């Protein structure tokens, strides 16, 4: 067993190295590697990092999941105020200094004072990474999964390497892949034409959607918006015409629910009560539900839970054994090592109302 695991870990690292290092890149300096970040920038990443400044909640969560939360030297605004999982699994994060604010406005003096070995930022503000890199000595890398599982796994490998927890990272990646496989296995043999057609109403608007969202595909659904734009790498946001939604006449409408109910501009009630949508099958059959959705950063435990939850929504009989709270707690425990994390989150997001039938 151990040998297989070690071999799996080894090949994972090998795979990660192949994917991350461009064929013609020359290694830059003692003990550092070159990686290509989500913006296509070439960054010289140190072999080891003790002090990590992560202004990207996705990467911060991965760090905590890998048990290296103490290496964080500072947090960003979103993590401090809006993150649901960090307060539960790594409350020490709130003693860390606040380094960046809304609009990725970074406190440079603080960054220099904290002297991190590496800085992670979000690629949502394309200029930030370069601008920051010009002013600080540490390497700045912009990473985001952008809604792709593979990218998420690569990030986990990268961080695992960075902090010397390759094994733990490989373990989690393996676990995640196994989860996805398990779901996929139950879907084997289903008629691809019979996949539920789903419309995603994300970003607090009925008209804003994602043209590709992997949890939907991985759970056996079909994103109707995927037909209007060529598939782009990662999740692509688009605003559609309301008539387009009527044209598609999806089987199911999913509303982004990854934030407090009071802040949701689009709710199940508002969709069901919208007079313009009443001719939709989904409205008539009341097939409108919440899902977590993607804003700018994923939580690895949550995205696996979401995939399972969506599978349950799409195929109630195939996944009749799905216990939302138990599964949630299980997944969060696997990543963060704490119990009852999802029960707490579920209360905040009112997930008990989500399952349709």
Partner 1 sequence: MTKRTGFWTLLAVLLPFLILVLSLAIGSYRIPPKELVHTVAGLISPSRHPDLAPAFKDILLHIRLPRLLLALMIGASLSLSGASLQALFKNPLVNEYILGISSGAGFGAALSLVLAGRGFPPQVAAFGFALLAVAAVLAIAGRSESSVVPILLTGVVVAAFFQALLALVVYFASPYALQTLFFWLMGNLALATWRDVVLAGPVMLAGSACLFLLRWRLNVLSMSETEARSLGVHVRREKILVILAATLASAAATSVAGIIGWVGLIGPHLVRMAVGADNRKVIPLAASCGACFLLLADDAARMIMSFEIPVGIFTSILGIPVFVYLLAKTKKVWL
Residues 248-267 that bind partner 1 (CB under 8 A): 259-260, 262-265, 267
Residues constituting the chain: 357
- Burial code (b: 16+ CB inside 10 Å, e: under 16) for 119-151 equals bbbbbbeeebbeebbeebebbbbbbbbbbbbeb
The answer to whether residue 241 forms part of the interface with partner 1 (CB under 8 A) is yes
Residues 62-101 that bind partner 1 (CB under 8 A): 78, 81-82, 101
Give the span between the Cα atoms of 254 and 307, in whole angstroms.
13
Work out how close the CB of 328 gets to partner 1 at its nearest, in angstroms, rounded to a whole number.
21
The answer to whether residue 244 forms part of the interface with partner 1 (CB under 8 A) is yes
Q: Indicate which single residue of 1, 4, 18, 102 sits in contact with partner 1 (rule: CB under 8 A).
A: 102
The answer to whether residue 109 forms part of the interface with partner 1 (CB under 8 A) is no
The answer to whether residue 242 forms part of the interface with partner 1 (CB under 8 A) is yes
Work out how close the CB of 140 gets to partner 1 at its nearest, in angstroms, rounded to a whole number.
22
Point out which residues pair with 209 in neighbouring strands.
238
Return the closest-CA partner of residue 157 out of 167, 147, 148, 149. Answer: 167
Q: Could you give the 3-state DSSP secondary structure of residue 336?
A: helix
The answer to whether residue 279 forms part of the interface with partner 1 (CB under 8 A) is yes
Q: Could you give the 3-state DSSP secondary structure of residue 44?
A: strand
Work out how close the CB of 292 gets to partner 1 at its nearest, in angstroms, rounded to a whole number.
13
Q: Indicate which single residue of 11, 115, 205, 348 sits in contact with partner 1 (rule: CB under 8 A).
A: 205
CB atoms within 10 A of CB 286: 12
Alpha-carbon Rg of the chain, whole angstroms? 21
Taking CB under 8 A as the binding criterion, the range among 17-25, 35-43, 91-99, 242-250 that sits at the site for partner 1 is 242-250
Q: Which is nearer to partner 1, 86 or 218 (CB)?
A: 86
CA atoms within 13 A on the CB side of 120: 32
Q: Which is nearer to partner 1, 242 or 326 (CB)?
A: 242
Q: Indicate which single residue of 177, 197, 208, 330 sits in contact with partner 1 (rule: CB under 8 A).
A: 208
CB atoms within 10 A of CB 229: 11
- DSSP, residue by residue, 132-180: HHHH-SS-EEE---TT-HHHHHHHHHHHHHHHT-HHHHHHHHHHHHHHH
The answer to whether residue 324 forms part of the interface with partner 1 (CB under 8 A) is no
Q: Which is nearer to partner 1, 246 or 326 (CB)?
A: 246
Give the span between the Cα atoms of 76 and 54, in whole angstroms.
7
The answer to whether residue 19 forms part of the interface with partner 1 (CB under 8 A) is no
Work out how close the CB of 123 gets to partner 1 at its nearest, in angstroms, rounded to a whole number.
17
Region of residue 262 (left: phi > 0; alpha: psi -120 to 50; beta: else): alpha
Q: Indicate which single residue of 107, 204, 217, 343 sits in contact with partner 1 (rule: CB under 8 A).
A: 204
Q: Indicate which single residue of 14, 239, 285, 323 sits in contact with partner 1 (rule: CB under 8 A).
A: 239
Q: What residues line the site for partner 1 (CB under 8 A)?
A: 78, 81-82, 101-103, 203-205, 207-208, 228, 238-244, 246-247, 259-260, 262-265, 267, 275-276, 278-279, 295
């Amino acid at each position: 067993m151990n040998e297989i695991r070690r071999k799996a870990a080894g090949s994972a690292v090998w795979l990660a190295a192949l994917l991350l290092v461009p064929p013609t890149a020359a290694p830059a300096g003692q003990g550092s590697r070159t990686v290509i970040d989500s913006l296509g920038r070439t960054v010289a990443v140190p072999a080891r990092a003790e002090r990590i400044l992560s202004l990207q909640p996705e990467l911060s969560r991965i760090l905590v999941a890998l048990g290296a939360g103490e290496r964080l030297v500072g947090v960003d605004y979103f993590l401090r105020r809006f993150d649901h999982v960090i307060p539960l699994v790594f409350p020490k994060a709130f003693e860390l200094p606040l380094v960046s604010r809304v609009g990725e406005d970074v406190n440079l003096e603080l960054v220099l004072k904290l002297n991190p070995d590496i800085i992670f930022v979000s690629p949502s503000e394309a200029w930030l990474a370069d601008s920051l890199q010009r002013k600080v000595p540490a390497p700045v890398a912009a990473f985001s999964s952008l809604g792709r599982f593979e990218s998420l796994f690569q990030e986990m490998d990268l961080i695992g390497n960075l902090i010397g927890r390759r094994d733990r990272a490989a373990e989690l990646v393996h676990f995640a892949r196994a989860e996805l496989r398990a779901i996929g296995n139950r879907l084997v043999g289903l008629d691809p034409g019979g996949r539920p057609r789903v419309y995603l109403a994300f970003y607090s608007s009925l008209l804003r959607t994602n043209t590709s969202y992997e949890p939907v595909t991985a759970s056996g659904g079909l994103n109707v918006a995927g037909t209007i734009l060529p598939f782009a790498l990662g999740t692509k946001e688009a605003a559609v015409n309301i008539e387009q939604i009527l044209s598609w006449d999806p089987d199911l409408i999913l509303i982004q629910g990854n934030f407090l109910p009071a802040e949701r501009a689009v709710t199940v009630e508002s969709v069901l009560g919208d007079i313009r949508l009443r001719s939709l099958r989904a409205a008539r059959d009341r097939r409108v539900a919440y899902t977590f959705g993607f804003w700018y950063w994923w939580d690895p435990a949550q995205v696996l839970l979401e995939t399972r939850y969506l599978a349950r929504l799409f195929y109630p009989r195939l996944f009749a054994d799905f216990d939302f709270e138990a599964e949630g707690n299980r997944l969060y425990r696997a990543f963060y090592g704490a119990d009852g994390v999802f029960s707490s989150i579920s209360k905040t997001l009112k997930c008990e109302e989500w399952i349709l039938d």
